[in-house]
Each structure stands twice: as structure tokens, then as C-alpha cells.
Amino acid sequence: MSKSVISTRNLTKFYRKEPGVLDLNMDVLEGEVFGYLGPNGAGKTTTIRLFLDFIRPSSGTVELFGMDSHADGLRIRKKIGYLPGELSIYSHLTGREFLGYMASFRGGADWEFIGELASRLKSDLSKRMGSMSHGNKQKIGLIQAFMHKPELLILDEPTMGLDPLVQQEFYKMVREVKKEGKTVFLSSHIMPEVERICDRVGIIRKGKMVAVENIFDLKEMRLRHLEIHFAEDVAWESFEDVPGISDVQVHGRILECSVSGSMDPLIKRISNYDVLNVVSHEPSLEEVFLTYYSGDVQ
């Protein structure tokens, strides 16, 4: 059985009277990619800051690698690569100078490996940080997180500002470190991103852990909104009894509906018709919460 790399017990943080996180219980296992999913303001960044001992909990505990996040903070941070949600930069430094500065805290850098990362992410290390776009600064932030080959990567909204091709390369990098047996904790508010690369997902809303799901189970549970175009008019009654569908509306040749669980019954039913097109509309994160976990978040 895999051991826990991150473990929290009843972790709580209040900002004066306002809760940041409440009674958070979580285990992130060695070798997995754990997605931390929630809307902006849900408590994702607060959780990460508690992991890294940047802020202290109001109550509860945090352990990383079996060590106390506060008492053993220095030993822990040597094992971690971290990308914050807002990367602090030195505007006058080039990307290379910034990475060299960060590497000095770790006893040096493997510049050949840094060059490989920069090439993969299409990052120009000769430019000054102050002249870079947000996306280019984000690339530098990713390089500094990966460059010392840490045992644990903690990434807060890592693809923010990246173009689609660079996002795909980042996903490859995550899969590679997972294959090496390393652990990734990735916070995001983008469900398709989390579905693409994560093994398990923790869903947080208003500071509370709403659910922890295997990614396959989450995909199965997700509500899909479909728009199906037929070659001829169809009747509403032809689809009302299909298991798993709801909110059925028919407008001549177009069927609109919501589907939960397996798509198989609907696919078998529409196979009786001449289908021209199927359009899938991704549900919002809030829809997922309200559809499946509304009883837990009142």
C-alpha cells in the first residue's frame, strides 16, 4: 500500500472570524497526481500555504513525508518543488539569472536539465522578467519548480496564462514525474485539466472538503449537457424513458438533454436515427457541486 506524502487531520485556518479551511482531512499518496479542485476563493491556496508552513493553522495538523510541517519545515522544503499562484519576481533579472538565484538556495543547478525544460516550455531565459507576459513568467515558475527533480511537486493553478501547446507539454512533464514514482499536488479550478492528468481529485468548496473521488468515478458521475442534431424531426416521447437523461427538450431536428452516468443507453437510442452532429457542453464547476454534493455544502 502506498504511503502518504501529505497528510492533514482536522486542519483548520481562520482569518479572524472568516474560515479559510475547516476540518480538512486529506491523504495524498506517494506516486499519485492529486488534483485539488474548487472555484476561486474555495480555500485551495490557503491549504497549500498551510502545507508549506507559510501560515500556521488555527487547529489541526499537517505532515509531509511523515514530518511535521512546522518543526521539520527546512527538511521538507528540500524535497519540494513549488509553484505559487502569484509568482514573486525580480523584474531586473533575466529568466536565467532568476533561476540561478533560486538554485543557489539548493546548492546549485543542473543547467543542462534546465535548458531541456526551457526548450520544452518554449521559454526564452535571456529576457528580463519585468518584460515578460504572465504566461512567460509562468513558464519560468514551472522551470524553477521542476528543475531540482523534487520528490513532491505542489503546483497552484500551474497552467494559468499558458497557451494550449505549452499546456500539453506541461501535462507530459507531469506524467513523466509520476512515472518516476514522484508525487504531484495540483490545485485548479479547471475540471477538464484535472480530469486529464490526475488519479484522484479532492473537491473543496467554501473551505470544506466536499468529496475525494477517483478520477474515473468523477468522470462517470459528471453531468453532461448534450445537443444532438438529426437529419429529420424527432419526437420528445422517443427519448423520455432513456436511463440517465433529464431536461429533455426537442426542437424539430434538435434534441437537448442532460446525461448523468453512462452514455451507453442514449447512444443506443440515437443509433436508430440519422445523426448529423453531437455537441457536448461542459458543465460549470458549480453545477458539479450542486448536482452531486448539494447535501454536503449547505
For 222-235, what is each residue's pLDDT tens digit? 678 899 999 999 99
Three cell numbers written together for 159: 497552467
Domains and CATH numbers, the chain: 4-219 (3.40.50.300), 223-282 (3.30.70)
Half-sphere exposure of 22 (CA within 13 A, CB side): 11
List C-alpha distances in Å: 287 to 173, 217, 225.
30, 17, 11
From CA 91, how far away is CA 97, in angstroms rounded? 11
DSSP 86: S
The string over 10-33, giving b where at least 16 C-beta atoms fall within 10 Å of a residue's C-beta and e elsewhere, is ebbbeeeeebbbbebebbbbbbbb
Triad 170, 37, 11: Cα angle to 5°: 120
The share of the chain scoring above pLDDT 90, in percent, equals 69
Three cell numbers written together for 258: 442532460
Backbone φ and ψ of 173, nearest 5° = -60, -40
From CA 193, how far away is CA 202, in angstroms rounded? 14
Classify residue 256 as left (phi > 0), alpha (psi -120 to 50) or beta.
Answer: beta
Q: What is the average pLDDT score of the chain?
A: 89
From CA 96, how far away is CA 127, in angstroms rounded? 8
- Give the pLDDT of residue 297: 41
Model confidence pTM above 0.75: yes
Positive or negative CA dihedral for 36, 39, 146, 171?
positive
Q: Which of 133, 186, 110 is nearest to 102 (CA)?
A: 110
200-222 residue pLDDT tens: 999 888 899 988 888 777 666 66
- Minimum mean pLDDT range among 106-110, 171-175, 188-192, 198-202: 188-192
- Would you say residue 271 has pLDDT above 50? yes
The pLDDT-based confidence of 106 (bands split at 50, 70, 90) is confident
Sheet containing 152-156, strands listed edge to edge, beginning at the edge strand earlier in sequence:
80-83, 152-156, 183-188, 33-37, 200-205, 208-214
- Would you say residue 294 has pLDDT above 60? no
Classify residue 292 as left (phi > 0), alpha (psi -120 to 50) or beta.
Answer: alpha
- Give the pLDDT of residue 50: 96
The pLDDT-based confidence of 86 (bands split at 50, 70, 90) is confident
141-175 residue pLDDT tens: 999 999 999 999 999 999 998 999 999 999 999 99
